[in-house]
Amino acid sequence: MKKTILISSVLISVLSVIAFTSKKEKQHRIVFQFTNADTLQQKAFTKQLQNITDYWPNVKIEVVVYNKGLEYLMTDFSKHIKEIEALKAKGVNFVVCENTMKQRKIEKTKFIQSATYIPAGIIEIVEKQEQGWSYVKGGY
């Protein structure tokens, strides 16, 4: 009898662990490339990010801007600063390519305060993909 109770207890414990782990939400990680200065593309991209963070509140997102995408995070040009800051508050990380900054002679003071900087945008995207992140080109 004791043996049956012990086996039943172990079996229930194992089944509980399996049920718990199967309900665990997958951790989504997405790296976005954004390279467009067009304000309509920026608006669409911002909405895409909002939709994703609404659907998956725990998603990890990194937005890599380079080339003409720098304007998206520049305080003198972007029309979406308020929305970008709200996305940042939800955990979206916005990173700026320093190679593009050097080529275009743009200082860090021109960007939103919450931006972070990386040496090379394309390298960052490749490294994220190698770590298992999904890649998406932002905009339409």
Grouping H, G, I as helix, E, B as strand and the rest as coil, residue 21 is: helix
CA distance 72 to 75: 8
Per-residue pLDDT of the chain (140 residues; tens, 9 = 90+): 555 554 444 445 444 555 444 445 689 999 999 999 999 999 999 999 999 999 999 999 999 999 999 999 999 999 999 999 999 999 999 999 999 999 999 999 999 999 999 999 999 999 999 999 999 999 88
Q: Report CA dihedral (34, 38, 43, 48) to the nearest 10 degrees.
A: -30
CA distance 43 to 82: 12
Residues 26-137: name the CATH superfamily: DsrEFH-like (3.40.1260.10)
In contact, 10 and 3? CB cutoff 8 Å: no
H or E element, residue 93 = strand 93-97
